[in-house]
Structure 1
């Protein structure tokens, strides 16, 4: 699993430097950048197989000149003018690039997408084939077009810049250096590749759309937790207390990162509508809650916190005194045990990554419902852990009010009459091994006898 990923790549992969979060994000107290320096990451491509650009056999960067955004009439491949491809250093790596230069932005875009793909292919245990493979063999990455937006599409990712308060382009905020945004967009590609799209025009795909946005956020947050600085910041700020109101508030103060904010949410199905981003929140929250619960379960197993503390922090006590007591107890437990807490969180992260990979490999896009996602998660946990975390998964989804829709056939009752197991006024249940009773009608060919008609 991914705890071993960096160890495996350290001696064989190619080195880059990327910012875990956008460099313009400031600390809550305004004392300086949240992440002042880029961090070194190693991607799975060996230096000898790396191409200028950068690029490899799965993706490549092209720094287009004067390009307009792709649309339904203008699609890849890009055949216009482009700046010279970024070259590796003499040692075959790209960690020498100056963060102030344009080449760093191009290399960051490649390194982020390649790194996120490496992480999720590790969880899937195999190559994730592009959903556009019938037309293109490689994903086209365009880092810096003169546009105050960004988009992903069939065979490409192209990114522009953020906006200033007056609405003009802010060249100090290139989207291609935003790890969360790139990872989220790659998450959509992973879902297209592994889940597919609904086939029926009668499928309104309401939960499918919410699942897609949720998956993008989860791909991003799980990938961001592979930065030690992000994990350390999260734990140092919360002391492992990730589920109480105090913990949620503190996380919200950490960063302007959308992904960090959306996974820590308290939205239930009764709070949201049908717009995909809004509807994604209960599903994202439920799945991230699973990771936190598994994390705290491991802390209990290691005797780092008590079962009582875990229960009180999970159930969100109603008084400020309770919250202060919980915070104090977590602080005492965390102090001196920082490495053990981190190990538990990383193991929970990798459990969640594998759980999602197995689930996304198995769900159907056709008439998808959140309840169907839940059942597939339960089956995935039985495969991974033998069902150890089934109660956690059930409780996290129940709290978010994710259940079969009221009109679901699953909720209909079936009487003996409905099942064709009666004859006249008396109820006769036949012996399965006995010869067929000619007085008991056979089930209807269209299956109608199995549906409750009340």
Structure 2
């Protein structure tokens, strides 16, 4: 969501509260919560259009009682017993709910999904129609079922709880409060709606599966950057040196030490298998690196850091003393320029959101490849910036070894003889005779055509 739209919504939308990251996460080396209080967010739906649930014309919450997870034989809509719908305060907003209440959990699930949808519809510049619209008008949200898992499916999102180390359900860690997990699952719905699915039974969809998981992570990363508290903490802790392990690069954190996947990773295509989650890592890494390098290039353009510092931080030398030197230089540059650094990061965030929206709108699910995605991303950059970031994109993807496979027709060489041309013997003629020097080989009917330069 662009900065400008966020400002407009502040005057007309409905207020909710969301924790930027799970409330059980603590600051490094302490027991102090990373985010002690939820942050107020404003949704695009006006208070007058909100319905109890919460609900609107695109989605609704059902706090089901005694529900089992949906499966192949048990699908939406849910017709069982449910708790009363959550209602707004007299002013029409939902930001009054106690964070420890069950009502808050239902409301925050709705607010998270609606917020992420608002963000990405703004980047796409249009409404994202549900991929299940032929059967359901609205997305069904089930916030709390007795299950140590969560899932998205055809017309629904339903969430249970985290899992303890011993494998039992952890009721203190409901997935419906985990912004990253919810955003990731909605990301799958966005891809189904915008990219579709492979149509051919001969398409194994290896890169398609990796792209799907990568998209879920990227949808979450970009959306999380819309929390001002998270952005401020991110910059304060890194001083703008984002090519370090930080809170932004960890998607779907389950505890202080466990996360579903890491966006800031060193995986290349030669390091991963065909398993979708593992295969997603090089693609996510390449795109995440692109955003960081666009951010740092803007810092250089605004003379907030030097080109030399940018280059050294990008290439990340392994020497510990060098890394400390780089971090120290970022700290010096950041001091007194905090607002300018934040402006650059939000610019890079919006650039990446629009870049991905254009890319996802243009690619086909059929026989999709990462190299095809790279070309679509370069096309998107040309549309957005006239190719200003093309070299950054190429370098980030090249490092991840994302290129045409050796057997691809794209890298096939064509000699003149492969193309059916032959050359006459003897020295090249000059003048008028030069026109007839190179001619195609005879066709099957014996006819010969002359190539005119």
Class of the TM-score when normalised by the shorter of the 2 chains: over 0.9
CA, structure 1 residues 279+380, in 2 after alignment: closer, same or farther (shift >3 Å)?
A: same
Cα distance in 2 for residues equivalent to 1:380 and 1:215: 16
Cα distance in 1 for residues equivalent to 2:187 and 2:153: 12
CA, structure 1 residues 340+331, in 2 after alignment: closer, same or farther (shift >3 Å)?
A: same
Question: Contact between 1:27 and 1:33, CA under 8 Å: does it hold in 2?
Answer: yes
Question: Contact between 2:198 and 2:366, CA under 8 Å: does it hold in 1?
Answer: yes
> What is aligned with 1:449?
none
Q: CA RMSD in A?
A: 2.4
For residues 361-386 of structure 1, the C-alpha deviation after alignment (integer angstroms, 9 at most, x for no partner) is: 00111111100000000000000000
> What is aligned with 1:80?
80
Instruction: Describe the SS at the equivalent of 1:23.
Output: coil
Matches within 5 A, 1:309-324: 309-324=309-324
Cα distance in 1 for residues equivalent to 2:142 and 2:54: 11
Question: Contact between 1:294 and 1:389, CA under 8 Å: does it hold in 2?
Answer: yes
> What is aligned with 1:144?
144
Q: CA deviation at 1:234?
A: 1.1
TM-score by length of 1: 0.92
> What is aligned with 2:245?
248
Question: Contact between 1:421 and 1:427, CA under 8 Å: does it hold in 2?
Answer: no
Q: Determine if the alignment matches structure 1 residue 68 to structure 2 residue 65.
A: no
Instruction: Describe the SS at the equivalent of 2:330.
Output: helix
Question: Contact between 1:421 and 1:428, CA under 8 Å: does it hold in 2?
Answer: no
> What is aligned with 2:376?
376
Q: CA deviation at 1:318?
A: 3.3
> What is aligned with 2:133?
133
Question: Contact between 1:220 and 1:259, CA under 8 Å: does it hold in 2?
Answer: no
CA, structure 1 residues 260+231, in 2 after alignment: closer, same or farther (shift >3 Å)?
A: farther
Question: Contact between 2:249 and 2:263, CA under 8 Å: does it hold in 1?
Answer: no
> What is aligned with 2:200?
200
Cα distance in 1 for residues equivalent to 2:226 and 2:67: 34
CA, structure 1 residues 438+51, in 2 after alignment: closer, same or farther (shift >3 Å)?
A: same
Instruction: Describe the SS at the equivalent of 1:76.
Output: coil
Q: CA deviation at 1:230?
A: 1.0
For residues 164-208 of structure 1, the C-alpha deviation after alignment (integer angstroms, 9 at most, x for no partner) is: 233222111110110000000000000000000001111111111
Q: Determine if the alignment matches structure 1 residue 301 to structure 2 residue 298.
A: no
Instruction: Describe the SS at the equivalent of 1:248.
Output: coil
- Divergent runs of 4+, >3 A: 249-261, 423-429, 437-444
Cα distance in 1 for residues equivalent to 2:13 and 2:59: 16
CA, structure 1 residues 116+443, in 2 after alignment: closer, same or farther (shift >3 Å)?
A: farther
Cα distance in 1 for residues equivalent to 2:343 and 2:97: 32
Q: Determine if the alignment matches structure 1 residue 106 to structure 2 residue 106.
A: yes
Cα distance in 2 for residues equivalent to 1:351 and 1:438: 50
Cα distance in 1 for residues equivalent to 2:320 and 2:398: 25
Unaligned 5+ segments in structure 2 are: 446-453
Question: Contact between 1:59 and 1:140, CA under 8 Å: does it hold in 2?
Answer: yes
Cα distance in 1 for residues equivalent to 2:444 and 2:378: 32
Unaligned 5+ segments in structure 1 are: 445-454
Question: Contact between 1:97 and 1:104, CA under 8 Å: does it hold in 2?
Answer: yes
Q: Determine if the alignment matches structure 1 residue 2 to structure 2 residue 6.
A: no
> What is aligned with 1:266?
266
> What is aligned with 1:46?
46
For residues 393-447 of structure 1, the C-alpha deviation after alignment (integer angstroms, 9 at most, x for no partner) is: 0000001111100100111100111111226767999x9xx89x99644599xxx
Question: Contact between 1:374 and 1:397, CA under 8 Å: does it hold in 2?
Answer: yes
Question: Contact between 1:124 and 1:354, CA under 8 Å: does it hold in 2?
Answer: yes
For residues 60-86 of structure 1, the C-alpha deviation after alignment (integer angstroms, 9 at most, x for no partner) is: 000111111100001001111111100
> What is aligned with 2:329?
329
Cα distance in 1 for residues equivalent to 2:250 and 2:156: 34
> What is aligned with 1:448?
none
> What is aligned with 1:185?
185
Cα distance in 2 for residues equivalent to 1:326 and 1:443: 68
CA, structure 1 residues 350+443, in 2 after alignment: closer, same or farther (shift >3 Å)?
A: farther
Question: Contact between 1:252 and 1:260, CA under 8 Å: does it hold in 2?
Answer: no
Cα distance in 1 for residues equivalent to 2:107 and 2:182: 13
> What is aligned with 1:450?
none
Q: Determine if the alignment matches structure 1 residue 367 to structure 2 residue 367.
A: yes
Instruction: Describe the SS at the equivalent of 1:41.
Output: strand
Instruction: Describe the SS at the equivalent of 2:7.
Output: helix
Cα distance in 2 for residues equivalent to 1:250 and 1:72: 36
CA, structure 1 residues 426+141, in 2 after alignment: closer, same or farther (shift >3 Å)?
A: farther
CA, structure 1 residues 439+199, in 2 after alignment: closer, same or farther (shift >3 Å)?
A: closer
CA, structure 1 residues 201+424, in 2 after alignment: closer, same or farther (shift >3 Å)?
A: farther
The total of aligned residue pairs comes to 438
Instruction: Describe the SS at the equivalent of 2:146.
Output: coil
CA, structure 1 residues 418+47, in 2 after alignment: closer, same or farther (shift >3 Å)?
A: same
Question: Contact between 1:420 and 1:443, CA under 8 Å: does it hold in 2?
Answer: no
TM-score by length of 2: 0.92
Question: Contact between 2:234 and 2:247, CA under 8 Å: does it hold in 1?
Answer: no
Q: CA deviation at 1:272?
A: 0.8
Q: CA deviation at 1:322?
A: 1.6
> What is aligned with 2:168?
168
CA, structure 1 residues 382+439, in 2 after alignment: closer, same or farther (shift >3 Å)?
A: closer
Question: Contact between 1:132 and 1:154, CA under 8 Å: does it hold in 2?
Answer: yes
> What is aligned with 2:413?
413
Cα distance in 2 for residues equivalent to 1:185 and 1:99: 23
> What is aligned with 2:392?
392
